[in-house]
Structure 1
Amino acid sequence: MGRIGLALTLVGTAALLPGCLAEPVGCPAIGHVPGVSLTVAADYAPDVASLRLKACQDGVCTEKELMLNPGATSVDQGCTPDGVCSATSSPDGTLQGFLELPALSENPLEATVTGTSPAGIALPVRTLTFTPQGEFPYGEQCGRVISAGLVLNEADLRQR
């Protein structure tokens, strides 16, 4: 093989190399605020006027009065023949609150919920130790998202 043959072989090989590399995958430009979300069950929501959440993880505690907002569920509106689908939001009777925890990890977390009823009477103190969950909702290339969700009802506090 002469110099021209060697040059053609090298050029051909170089042209094939990009096909061996992984294509970059786009990640959604969606921000994630780490923290603990709290849902008050619909049947317990009328008994709740205010809630305070204390979350302790790795020796650091954060405590805050939660702003409680009405919860909602998505209602499917169906799809058009050309594939355009839609949904709407409908109140579901729950209350939603959130405590931001910038250093949230997958280590055990202790959550304590206190609050008052509409009559100003103290609600039972509820405490739960649980492990936040990490997942890759947009694929491993887009990074791990750690979430911690709780549900409060008349009987207990549990992980969502």
Structure 2
Amino acid sequence: MDVLPPLLRSVALGGALLALAACGSGGLGAERPCTAIGSSPGLSVSVKPPDASRVASASLRVCWDGTTCREPTIELRPSSTTVPMGCDGDGPDAACAASASPDGGKTGFAQVEGLPKSPVQVTLTLRDAQGRTLVDRRVDVTPAATFPNGEHCGEGGPQAALTVADGTVTVR
């Protein structure tokens, strides 16, 4: 049974929407409002060509504090690069276009629950379609805090990035 008349329901809904909009507002003079966008704790992996053409799967083992290890799922997908397509003018209001073009690489992200902002040991293993190991490397990484909305909006999950090029794993 609906206990609120339609007009009262509309006023209540309008008030709730205004309050919600005010929560995201930085107030007068604020540079920009904070959004609800967050960032997951984890590791990104980028495999450059020509290595990427041989890689069919990846696995990670992430350990820290001598007691905690995680083996998150990671799926590598084709990566791309941005190709500029020009602008309709030179002014600050000009609209510009771009498209994505495959670059021959592969990329993926593994969410790692509890990932600290302190040194971790990462073992990255890449395999070909027959399951043969192409890369099996252990690297030390220190994940860093992320700020998906800028530092004024609070901290997201810590992240780190690995790149594989010519069979070598480096930290970005």
TM bracket (short chain): 0.7 to 0.9
Give the equivalent residue in structure 1 for 2:51.
44
Contact residue 106 and residue 133 of structure 1 kept, 8 A: yes
Q: CA offset at residue 110 of structure 1?
A: 1.1
Give the equivalent residue in structure 1 for 2:10.
none
Moved more, 78-87 or 131-140: 131-140
Q: Does 1:62 find its partner at 2:73?
A: no
Matched residue count: 140
State the Cα RMSD in Å.
Answer: 2.3
Q: Does 1:109 find its partner at 2:117?
A: no
Structure 1 gap segments, 5+ residues each: 1-20
Tell me the percent identity: 36
Tell me how far apart the structure 2 counterparts of residues 140 and 121 of structure 1 sit (CA, whole Å).
Answer: 43
Contact residue 50 and residue 65 of structure 1 kept, 8 A: no
Opposite residue 78 of structure 1, the aligned amino acid is G
Q: CA offset at residue 159 of structure 1?
A: 0.7
Q: CA offset at residue 137 of structure 1?
A: 5.5
Contact residue 48 and residue 116 of structure 1 kept, 8 A: yes
Give the equivalent residue in structure 2 for 1:118.
129
Which structure's CA Rg is the greater one? 1
Opposite residue 73 of structure 1, the aligned amino acid is T
Structure 2 gap segments, 5+ residues each: 1-26
Q: CA offset at residue 22 of structure 1?
A: 7.2
- Larger strand fraction of residues: 1
Q: Is the partner of 1:125 in helix, strand or coil?
A: strand
Contact residue 63 and residue 122 of structure 2 kept, 8 A: yes
Moved more, 136-145 or 67-76: 136-145
Give the equivalent residue in structure 2 for 1:149.
161
Give the equivalent residue in structure 2 for 1:53.
60
Q: Does 1:26 find its partner at 2:41?
A: no
Q: Is the partner of 2:53 in helix, strand or coil?
A: helix
TM-score with structure 2 length normalisation?
A: 0.70
Opposite residue 154 of structure 2, the aligned amino acid is G
TM-score with structure 1 length normalisation?
A: 0.74
